[in-house]
């Protein structure tokens, strides 16, 4: 196979996308472990105000921020691959997310918001070169702080969702899932066009 062959470069691109997808999975799993360790350490800190447990909580917090950045960055790189995006969105459509909500302490909603809003708001080039609204690309990574991104996603949605119903879904941790399931066919069609 010649290096100028288009199929060769497509295969290389698919291999790189798969690599970043598995890196995303690895970082997401490590983040989940870190979140549970941080929760356990916070509970210990409530009953024992020792310096060791507080230091451990700070270490888990620092690792958590690093893992949040890496997991979101690798998701941003992989979600522009139509094959991987379709695989991720089909999991959401099939409603197999309940264990993920529990395991990730709800952080999976951040990834879902990335898949729903950021992917169609910005191109991959704009996102990786930071030629985007940096406020949204930073806010989206952190729960509760990402409420303005949810509001922007709801406003950009063709079929409006009432504020009360959106707030109810957000409190239940199902707003991003609802938005993706509601626009599933258009998201898949848009993904195939890109």
Q: What does the domain layout of the chain look like in residue ranges?
A: 1-78, 79-194
Token couple for 132? 């985007």
What pLDDT is stored for residue 80 in this prediction?
Answer: 83
Instruction: Please tell me the pTM assigned to this model.
Output: 0.79
For 93-152, write each residue's pLDDT tens digit. Answer: 666 677 778 888 888 888 888 888 887 777 767 766 666 667 777 888 888 888 888 888
């Amino acid at each position: 196979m010649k290096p100028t062959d288009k199929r060769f470069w497509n295969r290389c691109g698919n291999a790189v996308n798969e690599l970043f997808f598995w890196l995303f999975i690895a970082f997401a799993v490590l983040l989940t472990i870190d979140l549970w360790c941080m929760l356990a350490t916070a509970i210990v800190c409530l009953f024992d105000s020792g310096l060791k447990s507080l230091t451990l909580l700070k270490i888990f917090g620092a690792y958590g921020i690093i893992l949040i950045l890496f997991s979101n960055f690798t998701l941003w790189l992989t979600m522009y691959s139509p094959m991987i995006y379709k695989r991720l969105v089909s999991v959401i459509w099939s409603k197999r997310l309940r264990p993920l909500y529990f395991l990730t302490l709800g952080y999976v909603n951040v990834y879902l918001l990335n898949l729903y809003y950021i992917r169609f708001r910005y191109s991959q080039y704009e996102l990786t070169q930071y030629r985007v609204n940096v406020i949204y690309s930073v806010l989206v990574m952190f729960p509760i702080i990402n409420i303005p991104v949810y509001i922007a996603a709801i406003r950009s949605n063709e079929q409006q969702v009432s504020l009360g119903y959106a707030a109810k879904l957000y409190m239940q941790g199902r707003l991003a899932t609802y938005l993706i399931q509601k626009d599933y066919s258009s998201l898949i069609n848009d993904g195939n066009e890109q």
